[in-house]
Structure 1
Amino acid sequence: MIGLVLAAGAGRRLRPYTDTLPKALVPVSAQDAPEAVSVLDLTLGNFAEIGLTEVAVIVGYRKEAVYARQAEFEEKYGLKLTLIDNDKAEEWNNAYSLWCGRDALKDGVILANGDTVHPVSVEKTLLAARGVGKKIILALDTVKSLADEEMKVVVDPDGGMTRITKLMDPAEATGEYIGVTLIEGDAAEALADALRTTFERDPQLYYEDGYQELVDRGFRIDVAPIGDVDWVEIDNHEDLARGREIACRY
Structure 2
Amino acid sequence: MIGLVLAAGAGRRLRPYTDTLPKALVPVDGETTVLDLTLGNFAEVGLTEVAIVVGYRKEAVYARKAEFEEKYGVTLTLIDNDKAEEWNNAYSLWCAREVLKQGVILANGDTVHPVSVEQTLLAARGQGQKIILALDTVKHLADEEMKVITDGEEGVRRITKLMDPATATGEYIGVTLIEPEAAEELADALKTTFERDPDLYYEDGYQELVNRGFRIDVAPIGDLKWVEIDNHEDLAKGREIACLY
Fold shared, TM-score > 0.5 on shorter chain: yes
2-structure distance, mates of 1:113, 1:131: 24
Is 1:80 paired with 2:79?
A: no
SS, match of residue 28 in structure 2: coil
% same residue: 85
Q: Which residue of 2 aligns with 1:14?
A: 14
Deviations 1:149-177 (A, max 9, x none): 00000000111000000000000000000
Is 1:236 paired with 2:227?
A: no
Deviations 1:208-243 (A, max 9, x none): 000000000000000000000100000000000000
Q: Which residue of 2 aligns with 1:92?
A: 87
Deviation at 1:134, TM superposition (A): 0.2
Opposite residue 49 of structure 1, the aligned amino acid is: E
Is 1:170 paired with 2:172?
A: no
1-structure distance, mates of 2:72, 2:128: 32
Match of 1:199 among 194, 197, 202: 194
> RMSD in angstroms over aligned alpha carbons?
0.3
Match of 1:39 among 34, 37, 42: 34
Opposite residue 146 of structure 2, the aligned amino acid is: M
Q: Gaps spanning 5+ residues in structure 2: where?
A: none
Deviations 1:93-151 (A, max 9, x none): 00000000000000000000000000000000000000111000000000000000000
2-structure distance, mates of 1:141, 1:232: 11
Is 1:137 paired with 2:132?
A: yes
Is 1:53 paired with 2:48?
A: yes
Paired residue total: 245
1-structure distance, mates of 2:26, 2:235: 9
1-structure distance, mates of 2:87, 2:26: 21
Opposite residue 55 of structure 2, the aligned amino acid is: G
Match of 1:211 among 206, 221, 225: 206
SS, match of residue 205 in structure 2: helix
Moved over 3 A (4+): none
Deviation at 1:66, TM superposition (A): 0.1
1-structure distance, mates of 2:218, 2:167: 16
Q: Which residue of 1 aligns with 2:181?
A: 186
1-structure distance, mates of 2:28, 2:85: 23
2-structure distance, mates of 1:22, 1:138: 25
Opposite residue 21 of structure 2, the aligned amino acid is: L
Deviation at 1:182, TM superposition (A): 0.1
TM-score with structure 2 setting the length: 1.00
Q: Which residue of 1 aligns with 2:4?
A: 4
TM-score with structure 1 setting the length: 0.98
Deviation at 1:204, TM superposition (A): 0.2
SS, match of residue 28 in structure 1: strand
Q: Which residue of 2 aligns with 1:225?
A: 220
